[in-house]
């Protein structure tokens, strides 16, 4: 009986413990991704030859161009832009917002997000699965966290530019930007679905689709 119980506990640990991390743990010191190859479950195959430059990245430097309808631009440092992150389970973004700019409601299906304000004042909010809204205006040096998969946004409420550095516990957290997904998908979501969902008419839906068409 004791042996059976021990076997059960061992099996439980083997199945449950890996679920606590977002990306699988690496089995080697590093595995700089070969982006020319197709990714596997745990990332890209390793490059056969690496150099010091594979472990350094300058893509988070600003300033970024925020001249767009949202007044927001994101510069990612994930495995696709910085292959040295391959299999390491971490990535970062530089987020810059013009005055009044919004990083629109979105979610990251594969990662929790933590961020710190580097410049300006930012209204950060996220929604839980029971539609509870948590939000706060945070300033330079203050942090926020958004649990994995929850819809959230950042809005510059200061008088000047705002900048955040965000970090994720995944080499490729993914992003689902709600307005782009709903009104700019290819192929399009049928109007009948959207008019029913948002209790509106075809003209409104078509107008929104025209703003997010790829």
Binding residue ranges: 93, 103, 106, 108, 113, 152
User: Count of CB atoms within 10 A of residue 16's CB?
Assistant: 9
Contact 91, 67 (CB under 8 A): no
User: Count of CB atoms within 10 A of residue 23's CB?
Assistant: 24
Q: Which residue bears the tokens 């075809």?
A: 202
Dmax (CA) of the chain: 69
Q: Give the C-alpha separation, 86 to 133, whole Å.
A: 34
Residue 195's SS3 state is helix
Which residue ranges are tagged as binding site for Mn(2+)? 106, 108, 113, 152
Tokens of 31: 């595995």
Contact 84, 30 (CB under 8 A): yes
Which residue ranges are tagged as binding site for oxalate? 93, 103, 108, 113
Which pairing describes strands 102-107 and 176-177: parallel, antiparallel, or unpaired? antiparallel
């Amino acid at each position: 009986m004791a042996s059976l119980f021990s076997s059960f506990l061992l099996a439980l640990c083997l199945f449950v413990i890996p679920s606590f991390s977002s990306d699988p743990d690496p089995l080697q010191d590093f595995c700089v991704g070969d982006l020319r190859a197709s990714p596997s479950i745990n990332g890209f195959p390793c490059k056969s030859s690496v150099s010091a430059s594979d472990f350094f990245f300058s893509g988070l430097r600003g300033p970024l161009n925020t001249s767009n309808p949202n007044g927001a631009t994101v510069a990612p440092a994930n495995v696709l832009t910085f292959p040295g992150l391959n299999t390491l389970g971490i990535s970062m973004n530089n987020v810059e917002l013009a005055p009044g700019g919004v990083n629109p409601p979105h979610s990251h299906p594969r990662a929790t997000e933590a961020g710190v304000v580097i410049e300006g004042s930012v209204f950060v909010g996220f929604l839980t699965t029971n539609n509870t809204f948590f939000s706060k205006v945070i300033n330079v040096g203050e942090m926020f966290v958004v649990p994995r998969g929850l819809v959230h946004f950042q809005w510059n409420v200061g008088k000047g530019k705002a900048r955040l550095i965000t970090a994720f516990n995944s080499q490729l957290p993914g992003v689902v930007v709600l307005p782009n997904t709903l009104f700019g998908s290819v192929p399009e979501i049928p109007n009948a679905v959207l008019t029913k969902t948002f209790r509106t008419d075809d003209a409104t839906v078509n107008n929104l689709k025209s703003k997010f068409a790829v």
